[in-house]
A = this chain, B = another copy of it.
Amino acid sequence: MANPSILILAGDGIGPEVMAEVKKIISWYGDKRGLSFDVSEDLVGGAAYDVHGVPLADATMAKAQEVDAVLLGAVGGPKYDVLDFSVKPERGLLRLRKEMDLYANLRPAQCFDALADFSSLKKDVVAGLDIMIVRELTSGVYFGTPRGITTQPDGSRVGINTQVYTTEEIRRVARSAFELARRRNNKVCSMEKANVMESGILWREEVQWVHDNEYPDVELSHMYADNGAMQLVRRPKQFDVIVTDNLFGDVLSDCAAMLTGSLGMLPSASLGAPMANGRPKAMYEPVHGSAPDIAGQGKANPIACILSFAMALRYSFDQGAEASRLEKAIEKVLADGVRTADLMGPEGGKPVSTTEMGDKIIDAL
C-alpha cells in the first residue's frame, strides 16, 4: 500500500521555520516507528503571490485536493498589506478551506499544566482546561453573497456581506461536534444569536434536530453567543464541545485560545467529508499567525505546528496512540522547563531556539 501523502504549505513569516521542525518529526516517525509519509511541498500566501501573482496557484490547489492531508504554516505579512483584497495572502487560505470544503474547524483550547501561570486568568479558572470549539468554516458571512462595496451617486458607499446557512451546512458540522463529544465528555453547547438573527434560529433548530434524531445520548445546550463570550471568560471549564458558526467561531475560538495564555501552543484541524479512501479531506494549521516581527530569527515556538501534525495523526491517519505519544513528549519537554522565547516567565532563564525545541521534542519521543 502506498504511503499516506502530505502536502506541506509552509507559507509566510515564521511558517517555514516552525514547519522545518514538523518535517523533522515526520522523518522521525518514518525512521523510528515505520510510519512513512509521502511529503511534497508548495507555496501559499504571500510566498505564492511573490512567485505566481496569486496567493494559491491552481496547481497547488489541485495537489491539495489529492493528498491525504495538508499541513499549513501561516500566511500574511506587512509587505502584502497593500495588495488588493482578491490576492491578499488570506485568500489562499480561504480558497483551500472553500474548495476542499473543510467545513469543520476543530480548535482545542487546552491549558498545559506547566504553562498555567501564563494565562491572564487565575490558575484555578484555567488549570486543566480542555475544551474543543468546532467552528463552521466554509459558509456564513465570510462567504455569502451578495457581498462587496458599492458607491452611490452621491459618493457615499455601502458595504455588504451576507450570512447564509442551509439545513445541510448546519447539520454536517453539528454531526462533527456530536461525534467529538462522544469521544470526550459527551456535552455539546451550540452558540448563535437566535434572539436577533433568523440564521441563528435555523442554526438552533437544525442542531437540535441532529441531536434528537441522531445523537440523543449527547447532552445538548444552547447559548447566545454574547453570553458564550462571557461564560468563556467567567468559567471556561463548564464547556466540553462548543459548536458555532464561522464568524462567532472565529471570535470565540480566539477568545478561548487566549484563556490558555500560550497561543504558540495551539493547533487546529479543518476537516471535510470523507474521501474515497475513507479519510476526511483535511488541513492542519497552528492557530498563531505568521508573526512577521520575529520571522527568521529562530525565536518562533514550533509546538503549535507540531501539535497540528499530532492532530493529523489522530484525525487523518488513525494513529491516535502515536498522536498521544507526540503530545506526551511535548508535555515532558515543557515539564523539564524547556521554553521558547514566547514561553519565558518573569523569572527569566535562557530561551531555546525553534530548532532546539524541535530537537528536544525528538529526544523526548
Chain B residues with Cβ below 8 Å from A147 are 197-198
Q: How far is the CA of A248 from the CA of B255 in the complex (A)?
A: 13
> Is A23's CB within 8 Å of the partner chain B?
no
Q: Are B235 and A254 in contact (CB under 8 A)?
A: no
Which stretch from A12-20, A59-67, A160-168, A211-219 is at the chain B interface? A160-168
CB proximity to B under 8 Å, residues A236-280: 247-248, 250-255, 257-259, 261, 263
Q: Of the candidates B165, B226, B259, B263, which one forms a contact with A159 in the assembled complex, judged by CB atoms under 8 Å apart? A: B165
> Is A221's CB within 8 Å of the partner chain B?
no
CB proximity to B under 8 Å, residues A129-168: 141-142, 144, 147-149, 156-168
Q: How far is the CA of A198 from the CA of B255 in the complex (A)?
A: 23
Q: Of the candidates B141, B157, B231, B251, which one forms a contact with A229 in the assembled complex, judged by CB atoms under 8 Å apart? A: B251
Which stretch from A40-48, A119-127, A291-299 is at the chain B interface? A119-127
Q: Are A201 and B149 in contact (CB under 8 A)?
A: yes
Q: How far is the CA of A208 from the CA of B10 in the complex (A)?
A: 33
Q: Chain B's nearest CB lies how many Å from the CB of A174?
A: 14
Q: Of the candidates B196, B252, B258, which one forms a contact with A234 in the assembled complex, judged by CB atoms under 8 Å apart? A: B258
Copies in the complex: 2
Q: Of the candidates B149, B162, B233, which one forms a contact with A202 in the assembled complex, judged by CB atoms under 8 Å apart? A: B149
Q: Are A250 and B193 in contact (CB under 8 A)?
A: yes
> Is A176's CB within 8 Å of the partner chain B?
no
Q: How far is the CA of A356 from the CA of B199 in the complex (A)?
A: 44
Q: Are B258 and A233 in contact (CB under 8 A)?
A: yes
> Is A203's CB within 8 Å of the partner chain B?
yes
> Is A327's CB within 8 Å of the partner chain B?
no
Q: How far is the CA of A193 from the CA of B227 in the complex (A)?
A: 21
Chain B residues with Cβ below 8 Å from A121 are 120-122, 233
Q: How far is the CA of A250 from the CA of B227 in the complex (A)?
A: 9
CB proximity to B under 8 Å, residues A160-198: 160-168, 193, 195-198
Q: Chain B's nearest CB lies how many Å from the CB of A12?
A: 14
Instruction: Given A163-B161, A225-B251, check contact A230 B149 (CB 8 Å).
Output: no
Q: Are B193 and A142 in contact (CB under 8 A)?
A: yes
Q: Are B162 and A162 in contact (CB under 8 A)?
A: yes
Instruction: Given A120-B234, A250-B226, A251-B248, check contact A159 B85 (CB 8 Å).
Output: no
| 6 A-B pairs with least C-beta separation | A159-B202, A159-B199, A156-B167, A229-B255, A233-B258, A226-B254
Q: Which residues of A contact B (CB under 8 A)?
A: 85, 88, 90, 94, 120-122, 125, 141-142, 144, 147-149, 156-168, 193, 195-203, 206, 225-235, 247-248, 250-255, 257-259, 261, 263
